[in-house]
Structure 1
Amino acid sequence: MSRQNWTDVNGVKVNNEVLASLQAQGLFIIMGEDGYPWMAYIPRVCPSCGSLSCAHPRAPRRMMWLHHYAWDFYAVRGLRPERKEGDVIHHQRCDKLDARIKRLGRGNPTSHARAHNSKARRYSPRERHDLGGLRYRPPQPARVVSHPELVGLPAPVSRTPPRVPTLRERVLGVEWKLAQRVDALWGEMKGLDSGESIPRTTAKSKWRDSKTRKLGLKMPRYCCTEGEAAFVLLLIRNGFDLERVAADVGEPVELLAPFYQRPSVNVALQRWREHRRLPVFAPMTWQERKP
């Protein structure tokens, strides 16, 4: 009797060897917004204060897709061909949560799209509507029911439950609330700005490279919005204590923690620590204001 060589981690299927390698490096698996499992880690250095031991919440940072790591893990050992630039690692059964090596395949974008489209073209309309081997029957029109006793009566009032806002909508609402205070905060704290020049980092021409476009990467937005700038100013004024900032804003901590994951906020905090420069902000666009 063969032993099972894979483990189910919160619904994600992964080989035992790959899971042991992740645990040895201190990595763990999280789910991304795209529906794929990712490898992630908790940063040792706090992104807000730069300390190794502090009480600030540290959001996990994603590294790469789990199925890419699984393929590279076996490619290094010579059990799979090496993944080159432009290759696509495909889930052979179209199950994003199955990262076992026997369910992965390597191909180009054309073959990857063809594999996904073949599933939709597998059956004809006759076969898709054939239930249990019965004869094909086209959709029938709806049956008309007459209720003359209801004529003249008012229509019933729909009792739909109120819509619950999503987490993204709630975070955007907090950002809009913070944007209302950015002018007052800037007027109080503009004397703390050192005015020191910040050295230039990566040139914009690097993001126009053909290899960068092929990977689908876009140049990150380093300039803060009004809400992000107000969040950074409140962090500086409250000694990088997120709970004091939440009490000042009047919102829970879990709605302010996602701001740490934005590149513009991390850049603003880094410029404050290194150059004592306050964040530069731009007015929010109508797409950012719309929840």
Structure 2
Amino acid sequence: MKPFTYEGMKVDWRMVQQIMAHGFYFLLAPEHDPDYPWVFEQETHKPICPLHVFVWMQHHGPINQGHVIHHRDHDKLNAQISNLEVLHRRVHAERHRLERQKFSPREREDYGGLYRPHAPGPVREPSFTELVRLLKRGKLTRPSSSSSPRPPEEEGEFREAEKKLKMALPRLAEEVDHLDSGQPIPRVNTQRRGSDIKLGLGKRAERRGCTPAEAALVRALVKHRMHAQPNEAVAVELEIPVGVVAKMKKRPSVDLALSRWRDYRRLPRIGPREKTE
């Protein structure tokens, strides 16, 4: 038998008759609850409880403390008894969290700072017993997702550009390294506790070291800093596409190196850090 359907709400016909027999009616009132339809008294229009809770209690009795009613198809307007199940609050929250993780946030590509969305992968919804076991162990299964591959021609452009930048690094270092101020980068103070308050210990800013190609790009941009369009000037000198230069500038390591040049006149280091006695 098809369910009773009204304004998107779905309820079994027998349950509709029981609601009317008790002197109640159900309604989706956004000013009262924008998510769930509620059951109201016909005479006083007093709200009783959400519709899905009323349906479950009519079939199975009171709900145990710490448990909630879950919609199997995640449709909050579908209050059919076949679509409802009782779950513990923690299990219910974890199930919805895993459902939201089917579409993971956009991840950063290695080349050029490009951002591409994940392709949603197949996700298996864990059972109640499995969720309880994982919660006790402190471990939870995460859905697997596969990222979209980079275009081969675009990856080839970046590899060719990085090869040219590496070859030009010694020449650019001779031309630009004399501009390095050599002053130390100030420490960034963190929240201090206990003995750290007396010692005044701090923590250096997060280090994102540049690759040789990125170090060469930073030096080329510093060399052409007075040019009206430095990206085009670097592209012409090194014979690489302008789009590659613009995208490589968006990398966190290059952006951090350029900000350190603007603030402290420091250039990225070439080679490993020198050990001091």
TM range (shorter): 0.3 to 0.5
- Give the TM-score normalised by the residue count of structure 2: 0.39
- Give the TM-score normalised by the residue count of structure 1: 0.37
